[in-house]
Structure 1
């Protein structure tokens, strides 16, 4: 899995789309895209809605082969977009839209992801090797190898750092909207 980093160019496009106030209608952008809307102003809770899909995603078994953005009638596509192994860049925009019912709109765009019949990410086992060009480390490793444990730790730290950036982003937007 690659580390995610903020990309100002992707964020600019996401912000421009959020400002159009199209609601929960995906753009025709070439980027992977998550949308969330609410009647309340809390960008962190909107992001947590996507992260809340993890349990259903894990149950789906789709990490080896992405088949659908839902599983047993529950959304999983937002979460899979966030953890898509080939992603290394993202950017988000947030807007208040008085013309739609879910007036606070969060748009996050990702470098790639959510392609049907492709692998989201791999979890190697001690008896299997990885042959996936989307993975950060091209060497074949096993689950018990120190390299893979370090990558897991780095990926977790990357997600926490990204969550922290989203919280800072939310504070900035709250202040901006209040001014």
Structure 2
């Protein structure tokens, strides 16, 4: 596996390596050329793409190469294509220079991988390879373990970048690169940071599911592919001839709708049928440890529902804040501190709450939190509610959306809906 070089950071990967070569620029001309590659200051009727055609092709080719070589082999892995709408939405977010997933309204429909680096030039494909290299920490769930929900086994800080890259039913992607003059990366200011955003559709990383079906390649492809198979991927021949790149084809028309950065058409994401009853003690959730920190685990603007183990009361992992907890805090110990859980463990909901200027210490429910007088991302913890529904209840009735986001309760559905 390739090691992530100094000055490179995928979001969620706790490997903040600093190198002297990232601070010294022996070739300023080369650096200015790099900055100019993704920036065009002069007004123009057409806007330069946020990523070059060469980089687009390299990213797409590498995704399909990696998807075709997964182990165990995938029976339903679909060929991935480039989507210009996803590229535009990625460009819009990359321009914000925020080291977090977003925007929240889009994350309901798309998956997203992020990476950032500074210093010498590195191709976007290098970040894609780093995402895939999380496979070393991922244990693929066997079919007999998925009854009905598959266990999540990741031995590292996160495997979510890898699983999104190889999510079988994700067949469209679009990426963008932006050079941010000053970018706050977990409390450190990176100057001239090169920010990569990749959006995926239909989104992957559904909790309780394996990223793909194991089996002979292309043996379980959707019927829409007509039996086509290419390099172990479900494939359908393109009917549109590719055109050579020119100055014009490397530009796109600027948005004609005032106030909108992109227009997004909601993709259709199908979900598997749920069982009538869930076995006792089985949760559609991610199992975490007492020392799991929110910034290491929480992916996207709305975080996952987590299951904490027993015995976190006497764990030594630090937490910062009281009502709002700083992102480097232990999720489970924050839940204990807030009174959401007791020392027997259980389910907890986590919600991002934006940046706060400071965090104040307190002692509650036998857990002491610390102060931190430095702006940082925050989160809230809350109890997981369970509600019985009938077959006619809609999501809008169950939990109407409230800004900035809403957590829906766990639900019990009756039989024969």
2:82 aligns with 6
Quick check: which has more Rg, 1 or 2? 2
Say if 1:7 and 1:71 are closer, same or farther in 2 by CA, change over 3 A. same
Per-residue CA deviation, residues 56-88 of structure 1 (Å, 9 max, x unaligned), is 22xx124866655x7123321111101101111
In structure 2, distance between residues paired with 1:73 and 1:94: 27
Cα pair 2:137 2:156 within 8 Å, conserved: no
Say if 1:136 and 1:2 are closer, same or farther in 2 by CA, change over 3 A. farther
Tell me the TM-score normalized by structure 2: 0.30
Per-residue CA deviation, residues 84-132 of structure 1 (Å, 9 max, x unaligned), is 011110000111111114511110010010010123101127xxx96xx
Question: Which structure has greater helix proportion?
Answer: 1
Matched, 1:104 2:180: no
Cα pair 2:173 2:200 within 8 Å, conserved: yes
- Give the one of 26, 29, 41 matched to 2:101: 26
In structure 1, distance between residues paired with 2:214 and 2:110: 25
In structure 2, distance between residues paired with 1:113 and 1:31: 8
1:155 aligns with 233
| Secondary structure at 2:90 match in 1 | helix
In structure 2, distance between residues paired with 1:74 and 1:62: 18
1:136 aligns with 222
Gaps of 5+ in 1: 139-146, 158-171, 173-179
Say if 1:99 and 1:81 are closer, same or farther in 2 by CA, change over 3 A. same
2:213 aligns with 122
Gaps of 5+ in 2: 1-76, 184-188, 236-249, 251-417
In structure 2, distance between residues paired with 1:85 and 1:71: 19
Question: Which structure has greater strand proportion?
Answer: 2
Tell me the TM-score normalized by structure 1: 0.65
Matched, 1:52 2:133: yes
Matched, 1:92 2:175: yes
Per-residue CA deviation, residues 121-169 of structure 1 (Å, 9 max, x unaligned), is 01127xxx96xxxx4358xxxxxxxx7xx74724299xxxxxxxxxxxx
The root-mean-square deviation of aligned C-alpha atoms, in Å, is: 3.1
Say if 1:63 and 1:12 are closer, same or farther in 2 by CA, change over 3 A. farther
In structure 2, distance between residues paired with 1:38 and 1:67: 33
| Secondary structure at 2:89 match in 1 | helix
Per-residue CA deviation, residues 25-53 of structure 1 (Å, 9 max, x unaligned), is 00012210001111133222222211211
- Give the one of 86, 93, 100 matched to 1:17: 93
Residue-pair matches, total: 139
In structure 2, distance between residues paired with 1:104 and 1:67: 35
2:140 aligns with 61
Cα pair 1:63 1:122 within 8 Å, conserved: no
> In terms of mean alpha carbon deviation, does 44-53 or 80-89 score higher?
44-53
| Secondary structure at 2:162 match in 1 | helix
- With CA pairs under 8 Å and 6+ residues apart, which has the higher RCO, 1 or 2? 1
In structure 1, distance between residues paired with 2:222 and 2:197: 26
Say if 1:154 and 1:124 are closer, same or farther in 2 by CA, change over 3 A. closer
